[in-house]
Amino acid sequence: MTEPVVSYLPVLAVVLPLFSAVIVYASMKLNKNLGRAVSFVSLVATALLSSILGYRALNGRIPSSILGGVEEALMDFPFQVILETDALSALMGVLAASIALLVGLYSLGFIKDKDNEGLYHTLLLITTSGMLGLVYSASLSSIFLFLEIASLSSAGLIAFYVSRGESFEAAYKYMMISAVSAAMILFSLAILHGQYGTLVISELSGLLRFTVMDKIALGILVSAFAMKCGAVPLHMWVSDSYGEAPAPISALLVVVSQASLYALFRISFALTGTASLTAVSWSLIIFGVLSMFVGVTMALPQKDVKRLMAYHAISQTGYMLLGVGVGLAVITRPEVLETVGITSMEGGLFHVVNHAMYKGLLFLCAGAIIYKTGTKNLNEMNGLAHTMPYTTVLFLVGALAIAGLPPFSGFASKIMIYQSTFAFNPLLAAIGMTVSILTLASFVKVFQNAFMGRESSGESGEVPKFMLAAMVVLAVGVILFGLVPNVVVESLIAPAAETLLGEFNVGGLI
């Protein structure tokens, strides 16, 4: 495959699901089976394209391409949509496309024959396009555009259950948070473009003078993306949005949030010089510690199984922020960068991948429980192990992984974060381990309430095969990544961490 062709693969990966969304919506009006088939095939093709991009990106950065016109014609236009793929963006692209594909597979059983099914699949494809566009973006204007696409379509999916007022309330809250963060990002872009005449990240990195206005713009960007990824104290939308969305969409929202987390990491390294290093790195660390502790303590008293998992999603995001934040904090200290910083960053990025798998698995298991029992209240469930043995085992895999127990993937990434953060600050590692213990206690409670005890009188039997298949694939990934973590880190995570390190702005060092 020639380089000019390869450079347009990110564009194709973004446009394909967006174009397919129109076809799916029209097809659903004619024949629902046709619409479902088009949706699923589109997600499969998008995942394949993302995988090809991932493979090629491991051998070097794929040349950038501009969506919507010839580069020379757009050079003076401030909102250029520039897509580029390197090891980090390729990793996130494969992750986003893979989870979207499994959500689509699961939805073939979960959403089948429900009202607005066509709109559901349409919005799912649009959200996938938005996520991929965000992670492949090489300019701040591209990030802003695709973040808005993903946010608007996600809000529609959160409000999918139109008969429930709570769903509309959750979607409204999500939209308000999205609007506030969008305004903050747009204001920052205006500051940066007004001073430097470009919003391309690689160009800005070399031009920034770290003036007061630059620092204000960077602070606003960090805050906005921290809000979009659900970090405490900007997490007020997460429990409602994850809790009220259809279960497979809750799994997808995890990856949408991680796409914002990716943007936060990228900006933190590329646009942070030594003048702002301490402030930005410790902002990530503090966001991380607060998210870990507040998330898990809020999860413990929850009776709604999906709200409980939503708070755990906040908590797990904290580990990612902590790991990458510590890596950024020591980036100018060569004596500890190799032993502490790189390991911490790799642990944080590895946890991004692991969290998408085991949290996606747990949300899909929650959907299976709700599908059979018709309730989200843990006090109204019992004895599901008798009637849903496969779901029971799959839930147990996800629960042990999120608690960080070996040999599951969550243990592998957490131990990397513990080791590196202990060398940086023992208190941070102690907080992380305490949070893991509380996480385990929370899921012991869930397992006891939902799966143990006498057989319930509700509908018996397992969920449809499409739903089981999606959960099994995620469970297999959780187990495999836990059994061979060194292979995963060396082949996928280390190149992504090197990409971040290579983008750090050395302004002020020389």
pLDDT tens readout for residues 100-143 = 999 999 999 888 877 788 899 999 999 999 999 999 998 999 99
Residue 376, domain member (yes or no): yes
Q: With respect to residue 508, please indicate whether it lies within any of the assigned structural domains.
A: no
Q: What does the alpha-carbon distance between residue 456 and residue 450 come to, in Å, rounded to a whole number? A: 10
Domain count, the chain: 1
CB atoms within 10 A of CB 120: 23
The verdict on residue 510 lying in a domain is no
Q: For 135-173, what is each residue's pLDDT tens digit? A: 999 899 999 999 999 999 999 999 988 777 788 899 999
Pairwise CA distance, residues 103 & 110, whole Å: 10
Q: Is the Cα torsion angle 140, 146, 147, 148 positive or negative in sign? A: positive
What single-letter DSSP state applies at residue 30? H
Q: Report the alpha-carbon distance of residue 245 to residue 179 in Å, rounded.
A: 19
Please report, to the nearest 10 degrees, the dihedral formed by the alpha carbons of residues 25, 28, 30, 34 taken in order: 110
pLDDT digits (tens, 9 = 90+) for 40-94: 999 999 999 999 888 888 776 665 565 544 444 444 555 678 888 888 999 999 9
Give the span between the Cα atoms of 414 and 416, in whole angstroms. 5
Q: How many residues does the chain have?
A: 510
> Averaged over 449-466, what is the pLDDT?
75
What is the distance between the alpha carbons of residues 243 and 285, in angstroms, rounded to a whole number?
27
CA dist list (Å): 271 to 68, 80, 221, 262, 292: 26, 18, 10, 14, 26
Residue 79: its pLDDT value, please?
67
Q: Is 509 part of any domain? A: no
CB 399 within 8 A of CB 476: no
Judged on CB neighbours under 10 Å (0-12, 13-18, 19+), 184 is buried
Task: Write down the pLDDT at residue 74.
Answer: 45
Contact between 100 and 50 under an 8 Å Cβ cutoff? The reply is no
Residue 125 falls inside a structural domain: yes
Q: Provide the b/e sequence for 377-405 (b: ≥16 CB within 10 Å).
A: ebeebbbbbebbeebbebbbbbbbbbbbb
Q: Which domain holds residue 347?
A: 3-502
Tokens of 239: 């429990």
In which band, very low, low, confident or very high, does the pLDDT at 6 lie, cut at 50, 70 and 90? low
Does the model's pTM come out above 0.85? yes
d(CA 168, CA 173): 9
DSSP symbol at 66 = E
* Percent over 90 (pLDDT), the chain: 59
Question: What's the rounded Cα separation, in Å, for the pair 139 and 33?
Answer: 39
* pLDDT at residue number 97: 95
